[in-house]
Structure 1
Amino acid sequence: MRILHSSDWHLGQHFMGKSRETEHRAFLAWLIEQVQAHQVDALIVAGDLFDTGTPPSYARRLYNQFIADLRLTGCQLVILGGNHDSVSTLHESRELLACLGTRVIGGVTTDPRDQVIVLQQRDGTPGAVLCAIPYLRPRDLIESHAGESTLQKRQALSEAIGHHYTVIYDMARQVRDDLQSAQQASGAVLGADSAASVPLPIIATGHLTCVGGQLSESVRELYIGTLEAYPAGAFPPADYIALGHLHRAQAVGGESHIRYSGSPIALSFDESRGSKQVLLVDFAAGKLDEITPLAVPVWQPMHSLSGNLTELEAQLQAHFGDGGDEAAAGPLTWLEIEVRGDDYLSDLQPRVQQLVEGMPVEVLRIRRQRSASNIALERDSRETLQELSVHDVFERRLALEENMDEITRERLVGAFDSLLQQIQDGDQNTCES
Structure 2
Amino acid sequence: MKLIHTSDWHLGQTFHGQERHVEHQAFLAWLLETLIARQADALLVAGDLFDVVNPSLKAQELLYDFIVEAHQRLPALDIVLIAGNHDSGNRVELPAPLMRRLNTHALGRVHWRDDGELDAERLLVPLTDSDGETRAWCLALPFLRPAEVTGRKGLTARDSESNGANERNDYVAGIGAVHEQLINAAREKREPDQALIAMSHAHLRGAAVSEGSERPIVIGGEESLSASLFPDDISYVALGHLHRPQQVGEPRIRYSGSPIPLDFSEVDYPHQVVEVTLQGDALAGTETLPIPRSVALIRLGPAELESVLAEINAVEDDPELPTERWPWLEVRVDLDGPQPDLRGRIDAALEGRALRLLRIHTRYPKARGEAPGSRRVTLDSLGPQALFARAWEEEYGEPADDQVKRDFALLVQDVMDAEADA
Judge conservation of contact 1:225–1:414 (CA < 8 Å) in 2. no
| Structure 1 residue 299 corresponds to structure 2 residue 301 | no
State the Cα distance separating 1:430 from its structure 2 match.
5.3
The residue aligned with 1:316 is 312
State the Cα distance separating 1:366 from its structure 2 match.
0.6
The residue aligned with 1:147 is none
Alpha-carbon distance in 2 for matches of 1:3, 1:56: 29
Greater per-residue helix proportion: 1
State the Cα distance separating 1:421 from its structure 2 match.
1.8
Judge conservation of contact 1:225–1:418 (CA < 8 Å) in 2. no
State the Cα distance separating 1:203 from its structure 2 match.
0.8
**Taking structure 1 as reference, are residues 402 and 84 closer, same or farther at Cα in structure 2, changes over 3 Å only?**
closer
Query: Amino acid of the residue matched to residue 309 of structure 1?
Result: L
The residue aligned with 1:421 is 410
State the Cα distance separating 1:118 from its structure 2 match.
1.5
The residue aligned with 2:25 is 25
1:273 is paired with a residue of what secondary structure?
A: coil
The residue aligned with 1:329 is 320
The residue aligned with 1:99 is 101
| Structure 1 residue 274 corresponds to structure 2 residue 274 | no
Judge conservation of contact 2:41–2:129 (CA < 8 Å) in 1. yes
Unpaired runs of at least 5, structure 1: 145-150, 181-198, 321-325
The residue aligned with 1:88 is 90
The residue aligned with 2:163 is none
**Taking structure 1 as reference, are residues 296 and 49 closer, same or farther at Cα in structure 2, changes over 3 Å only?**
same
Query: Amino acid of the residue matched to residue 320 of structure 2?
Result: A
The residue aligned with 1:223 is 218
Aligned match for 1:352, one of 346, 352, 361: 346
Q: Cα deviation per residue 1:302-332 (whole Å; 9 max; x = unaligned)? A: 1111111222133223323xxxxx5473222
The residue aligned with 1:118 is 126
**Taking structure 1 as reference, are residues 68 and 403 closer, same or farther at Cα in structure 2, changes over 3 Å only?**
closer
Judge conservation of contact 1:117–1:132 (CA < 8 Å) in 2. yes
| Structure 1 residue 207 corresponds to structure 2 residue 201 | yes
Query: Amino acid of the residue matched to residue 229 of structure 2?
Result: A
Alpha-carbon distance in 2 for matches of 1:21, 1:336: 19
Alpha-carbon distance in 1 for matches of 2:31, 2:412: 38
The residue aligned with 2:116 is none
Q: Cα deviation per residue 1:182-229 (whole Å; 9 max; x = unaligned)? A: xxxxxxxxxxxxxxxxx2221101112222222221110012268242
Alpha-carbon distance in 2 for matches of 1:426, 1:228: 18
| Structure 1 residue 42 corresponds to structure 2 residue 42 | yes
The residue aligned with 1:3 is 3
Query: Amino acid of the residue matched to residue 181 of structure 2?
Result: V
Alpha-carbon distance in 1 for matches of 2:352, 2:393: 46
2:315 is paired with a residue of what secondary structure?
A: helix
| Structure exhibiting the larger radius of gyration computed from Cα positions | 1
State the Cα distance separating 1:45 from its structure 2 match.
0.3
Alpha-carbon distance in 1 for matches of 2:257, 2:413: 25
Query: Amino acid of the residue matched to residue 171 of structure 1?
Result: A
- Length, aligned pairs only: 393
What is the aligned-residue identity percentage?
34
TM-score (norm 2): 0.86
The residue aligned with 1:134 is 142
The residue aligned with 2:420 is 431
Alpha-carbon distance in 2 for matches of 1:398, 1:256: 41
**Taking structure 1 as reference, are residues 60 and 318 closer, same or farther at Cα in structure 2, changes over 3 Å only?**
same
Cα root mean square deviation, aligned: 2.4
Alpha-carbon distance in 2 for matches of 1:118, 1:420: 36
| Structure 1 residue 172 corresponds to structure 2 residue 186 | yes
The residue aligned with 2:242 is 246
The residue aligned with 1:159 is 173
State the Cα distance separating 1:130 from its structure 2 match.
1.2
Alpha-carbon distance in 2 for matches of 1:272, 1:204: 29
State the Cα distance separating 1:165 from its structure 2 match.
1.1
Query: Amino acid of the residue matched to residue 75 of structure 1?
Result: L
Alpha-carbon distance in 2 for matches of 1:242, 1:3: 10
The residue aligned with 1:188 is none
Judge conservation of contact 1:162–1:235 (CA < 8 Å) in 2. no
Q: Cα deviation per residue 1:63-111 (whole Å; 9 max; x = unaligned)? A: 1111111112121100011001111111111111112100111121221
Alpha-carbon distance in 2 for matches of 1:155, 1:428: 20
**Taking structure 1 as reference, are residues 162 and 417 closer, same or farther at Cα in structure 2, changes over 3 Å only?**
closer
2:90 is paired with a residue of what secondary structure?
A: helix
Query: Amino acid of the residue matched to residue 11 of structure 1?
Result: L
Query: Amino acid of the residue matched to residue 355 of structure 1?
Result: A
State the Cα distance separating 1:278 from its structure 2 match.
0.8
| Structure 1 residue 236 corresponds to structure 2 residue 231 | yes
Query: Please, which moves more after superposition, 353-362 or 272-281?
Result: 353-362
Unpaired runs of at least 5, structure 2: 113-118, 153-158, 160-165
Alpha-carbon distance in 2 for matches of 1:426, 1:345: 39
Judge conservation of contact 1:369–1:382 (CA < 8 Å) in 2. no
